[in-house]
Chain A
Amino acid sequence: AAGVIQSPRHLIKEKRETATLKCYPIPRHDTVYWYQQGPGQDPQFLISFYEKMQSDKGSIPDRFSAQQFSDYHSELNMSSLELGDSALYFCASSLGLLSRKETQYFGPGTRLLVL
């Protein structure tokens, strides 16, 4: 079965640079979620989109922005990168919002290293 696709899988950036992470949800899934997982930490929710509109917002820094496009893929844009942004960034997708008892399926993640 098709899964969530994330690209790139690995990314190395320098401080103050920008990065763009991409997420392609499972086919027919209309909801996308972004999570950040630091070393040895649990995933922390950043932001979510349902039908191309922002549906919920978590602990996403102002330096980050995201959007969902007409084909339901999503991009997380990260500017003025800091060392502390080094983490695994996961995208998850679901068919409809969790409030409808749907399950979030996670992608393999993008490992971002800021030097």
Chain B
Amino acid sequence: EDQVTQSPEALRLQEGESSSLNCSYTVSGLRGLFWYRQDPGKGPEFLFTLYSAGEEKEKERLKATLTKKESFLHITAPKPEDSATYLCAVHSGYSTLTFGKGTMLLVSP
């Protein structure tokens, strides 16, 4: 059974204080690892897809990396508008995603 563990569960940063979110996974044949951002009461917003170890993708202040066991979402100089829950999901089966429980990020001004 696929397992996705995200840490920390919650993270509070000061504006401009860089940090990283972790997503550890156990799957039988990774086909893709996805990062989504979710604001309260809203649908997950797609950020990145990573397919193979060593792959990196960047978007504004976010950078996602992938190894054979985990993925990191690096947040550089975060702003209050980056506050959200960040979800990691893996695709190993036919068409489904298995999500982690997310990291709730709060960036204070």
Residues of A within 8 A of B (CB): 4, 31, 33, 41-45, 48, 50, 55-56, 58, 88, 90, 92, 97-99, 101, 103-109, 111
Residues of B within 8 A of A (CB): 31-32, 34, 36, 41-46, 49, 51, 87, 91, 93-102
**Cα distance, A41 to B38, chains bound together (Å):** 12
Of the residues A45, A90, A92, A103, contact of B49 by C-beta under 8 Å: A103
A99 x B101 contact (CB < 8 A)? no
Which 3 pairs, one residue from A and one from B, show the smallest C-beta to C-beta distance?
A: A106-B43, A42-B99, A45-B96
Given contacts A4-B43, A109-B41, A111-B41, contact A56 B96 (CB under 8 A): yes
**Cα distance, A33 to B99, chains bound together (Å):** 14
Residues of A within 8 A of B99 (CB): 42-44
Ordered by A's residue number, 18 sampled pairs between the chains whose C-beta atoms are within 8 Å are A33-B97, A42-B102, A43-B87, A45-B96, A45-B97, A97-B94, A97-B95, A99-B95, A101-B31, A101-B32, A101-B51, A103-B46, A103-B49, A104-B34, A104-B46, A105-B46, A108-B43, A109-B42
